[in-house]
Amino acid sequence: MSGPQQRLLVTIHDVTPALMPAVEALWGLCAARGVLPGLLVIPDWHGVSPVESDPAFGAWVRSRAGEGAEIFLHGERHDEQGLPRTWRDELRAFARTNREGEFLTLGYDAARARIERGLARLRGIGLSPCGFVPPAWLARPATHEAAKDAGLGVSEDDGAIFVHRSGARLASPVVRWSGRTSFRAFASVAGARARWTLQRRSPVMRIALHPGDLAHTATARSVERSLDAWLAERPQGFYRQL
């Protein structure tokens, strides 16, 4: 049974025209369970997939937003093209991303500029983002300040959600997977089981789905099992409720 304050936040990351078959498959998994996931939209994935160039993509995301799905800005390009890392950055990103931490190295001004450009592009196709999630959850504290100053209600890292209107920091574990290699797939399946065992009573839990989760049989099955288990314990919540 769920406690009175327990919520489950479900999101689909890496929503881009370049990855739409897998994004739609993840949406279908959620819809079959009565879940309305948030959508983390990338304005121009790797600089080769601008949202403005695909009217069908824009129409699809607008339709989902019309159904109540929350929209988030998920970087500008998502990758780290042209952004060299220091050794400290390498340590922070170790084993967490394959050069997809766009905001890992950025200070306030650079982060604010990318956030503002990204927001303008999403608004240009009729979307109204409510929050910001840096790719791979990698960003300096200044990035979250930039998101707040850009007028967004929430941002997050892999340990917490920052509710900018109230100034609250809500600890929130996140269940996620990686299907990039077999080793990572089975390790992330074990991680999902550990979250269930060790953090089952956390007031706010997140399930973060990525298109690559469907690339490996083990992660694809774990996603379905995890959704079913968590939803049996607590209702889906929304960031707007925070």
Residue 2 falls within a domain, yes or no?
Answer: no
The CATH number of residue 232's host domain is 3.20.20.370
* CA pseudo-torsion sign 106, 79, 164, 203: negative
Q: Is residue 167 domain-resident?
A: yes
Please state the domain count of the chain: 1
Q: Which two tokens stand for residue 70?
A: 């929350």
What pLDDT is recorded for position 82?
Answer: 76
- Please tell me the predicted confidence (pLDDT) of residue 95: 62
Which pLDDT score, from 0 to 100, does residue 85 have? 77
Dump pLDDT digits (tens) for 126-173: 999 999 999 999 999 999 999 999 999 999 999 999 999 999 999 999
Query: What letter would DSSP give residue 164?
Result: T
Assess if residue 34 is contained within a domain: yes
pLDDT of amino acid 77: 95
Q: Where are the alpha helices (DSSP H) in the chain?
A: 20-31, 55-66, 87-93, 108-124, 141-149, 182-198, 217-233
The pLDDT of residue 171 is 96
Give every CB contact of residue 18 below 8 A, 6+ residues apart in sequence.
45, 46, 48, 49
Q: What pLDDT sits at residue 93?
A: 65
Q: What are phi and psi of 14, to 5 degrees?
A: 60, 45
Model pLDDT, residue 1: 39
Distances (CA, A) of 66 to 51, 129, 168: 18, 13, 28
State which residues form the domain around 28: 7-241
Average pLDDT along the chain, 242 residues, taken 10 residues at a time:
73 98 98 98 97 98 98 93 76 72 93 98 98 95 97 97 96 93 93 95 97 95 98 96 92
The answer as to whether 201 is a domain residue is yes
Residue 126 included in any domain? yes
The answer as to whether 224 is a domain residue is yes
